[in-house]
Amino acid sequence: MEPSATIMAEELLGWVSAVRGAVVDVAFPHGLPRINEALAILREDGSALLVEVQAHLDDHHVRSIALANTSGLSRGVRVQGLNGPLSVPVGDLVLGRLLDVTGIPGDAGPALPDDTARRSIHQPPPALAAQHATSERFATGLKVLDLLTPLVQGGKAAMFGGAGVGKTVLVMELIHAMVERYQGISVFAGVGERSREGHEMLLDMRQSGVLPHTVLVYGQMNEPPGARWRVPLTALSIAEYFRDERRKNVLLLMDNVFRFVQAGAEVSGLLGRLPSRVGYQPTLADEVAALQERIVSVEGVAVTAIEAVYVPADDFTDPAVTALASHMDSMVVLSRAMAAQGMYPAIDPIASSSVLLDPLIVGETHFTLATEVRRTIEHYRSLQDVISLLGVEELGSEDRRIVARARRLQRFLTQPFAVTEAFTGMPGRSVAIDDTLAGCQAILDGECDDWQERSLYMVGTLDEARSKEQATSQGETGDRMP
């Protein structure tokens, strides 16, 4: 930019020269705002429509993306530069509030004071030398996660799955399980969420009493692509403030990050860029990296991220999915086949992985046991075609024993969720890591070979399964008595 173009905000005035849906062209007679700077379009009713500069068309025109509905906007409307990127309110005053992409409360509560601290949504990540990794375990109470894809403070975990396999329910359960025991700040980003989901989240937070330590940021499904595209950055800026300024641990939850990529593809198309692979924007990798590389921990304080990722058409080779997966420490893959069998949470124990499943982090015992559980279930899967064709009776005695234990392991790794209690009538279970390890070890050692498989289904600890088995056995004995 030429030196003469850098002028004060009150002098940087222009007008709308063209409106095409969410794309607004603005003319400036003297100087141009920088890329990613915010502009305020002053409507006749006194309200301001915020847009973000995305391209310089020539010496006097910029192309911007609207962060709200442009309905009714006309050419010639006055525009004022804000002399910087979009800034959003941060600090204690936003705790317990539901905000939109620009930081305006959407929970029918009082407006935020004018002197509320603000922070730009565009921030560079901390220097590599300042980033810090921890090995402190983050217990979720979910058996299959704690066993096979452990989380640590400061890690990034993603739930990958197609439509209807339980991503949002799993994230909701993690919120329920972790926020109540978590000593820190929680920031939830609803990217392209349905209004029903946002309303349910707000009610759940209020009823559980954790809302005073939580910030909810939503860019709903009916909002323009610019709003959905920038909502994760708004939430991330609030999380960074509590990490950097208040030195507090932050739990950052996002649902659904795929819609961030999808909104970016819409914006790219609106700006006239040629599409890349599978129709995605050519800047896909850059946009994902710009978001994910800011989710880091520094000395003494951690940002732990849990993100839901929609997998279009169950295709895990989709460019958006692979771009997001490359930034994750833990990949939790949800399986449609397991969901069809009623194995909830429908987490695939073979496809799911974590770089944190390491003897130096989880211990030698946990690592060895997790490896044996995976090996047993994988062996069972390799025999499924034979079992389907010939029956389990045609297998050798050793294979039959492995199959029986694998099926019991799969059922033991299911558990009822607290957030689904209203639908299933089963109270949720939270299981300590030691109880999960002890239960899996007992099954592998053959202690449950004589049990019915249903005794291990949808239970918490192995002791609960044992009680269920004994009750079932006594009931069957009673049925046989004259």
Tell me the two tokens of residue 44. 């006749």
The pLDDT score that the predictor gives to residue 339 is 94
**Structure pTM?**
0.91
Q: Which residues pair with 216 in a beta bridge?
A: 98, 188
CA distance readout (Å), 171 to 402, 414, 417: 32, 16, 11
What is the residue-level pLDDT of the chain in tens, covering all 482 positions?
A: 333 333 334 457 999 999 999 999 999 998 899 999 999 999 888 889 999 999 999 999 999 999 999 999 999 999 999 999 999 999 999 999 999 999 999 888 899 999 999 999 999 999 999 998 877 888 899 999 999 999 988 899 999 999 889 998 898 888 887 776 777 899 999 999 888 888 888 888 887 777 888 999 999 999 999 999 999 999 999 999 999 999 999 999 999 999 999 999 999 999 999 999 999 999 999 999 999 999 999 988 989 999 999 999 999 999 999 999 999 999 999 999 999 999 999 999 999 999 999 999 999 999 999 999 999 999 999 999 999 999 988 899 999 999 999 999 999 999 999 888 888 899 999 999 999 999 999 999 999 999 999 999 999 999 999 999 999 888 765 554 44
pLDDT, tens digit (0-9, with 9 covering 90-100), for 192-240 = 988 888 888 888 888 777 788 899 999 999 999 999 999 999 999 999 9
Contact 376, 405 (CB under 8 A): yes
Annotation marks residue 408 as catalytic: no
197 belongs to the catalytic site: no
Alpha helices in 252-363 (DSSP H): 257-270, 284-292, 319-325, 336-340, 359-362
Give the integer Cα–Cα distance in Å for 30 and 482.
99
DSSP 421-473: HHHH--------HHHHHHHHHHHHTTTTTTS-GGGGTT-SSHHHHHHHHHHHH
Marked catalytic residue, from 97, 119, 167, 259: 167
Q: What angle do CA 229, 199, 66 make, to 5 degrees?
A: 25
Residue 194 bears catalytic tag: yes
408: helix, strand or coil: helix
* Rounded CA separation 463/441 (Å): 13
Based on the number of CB atoms within 10 Å of its own CB, is 71 exposed (0-12), middle (13-18) or buried (19 or more)?
exposed
Cβ(154)–Cβ(134) below 8 Å = yes
How far is Cα 111 from Cα 55, in angstroms, rounded to an integer?
33
Q: C-alpha distances in angstroms, 332 versus 156, 161, 167, 309, 438?
A: 11, 9, 10, 10, 22
Contacts of 368 (CB under 8 A, 6+ apart): none
Give the helix/strand (H/E) hosting 148. helix 143-148
Summarised one tens digit per residue, pLDDT across range 243-285 is 999 999 999 999 999 999 999 999 999 999 999 999 999 999 9
Write the DSSP symbol of residue 248.
-
CA distance 410 to 137: 24
Cβ atoms 169, 216 nearer than 8 A: no
Torsion of CA 66, 68, 70, 73, to 10 degrees: -90
The catalytically annotated residue of 37, 173, 193, 223 is 193
The gap between the terminal CA atoms of the chain, to the nearest Å, is 94
Q: How many helices (H) and strands (E) does the chain have?
A: 15, 16
**3-class secondary structure, 58:** coil
* Per-residue model confidence (pLDDT) at position 202: 85
Q: How far apart are CA 117 and CA 467, in angstroms?
A: 56
Spot the catalytic one: 194, 247, 381, 454.
Answer: 194
Question: Minimal CA–CA distance to 337: which of 347, 326, 329?
Answer: 347
Cα–Cα distance list, 472 to 15, 183, 415, 449, 476 (Å): 76, 41, 19, 15, 6
- Residue 154 makes CB contacts below 8 A (sequence gap 6+) with 132, 133, 134, 296, 297, 302, 303, 304
Contact 334, 166 (CB under 8 A): yes
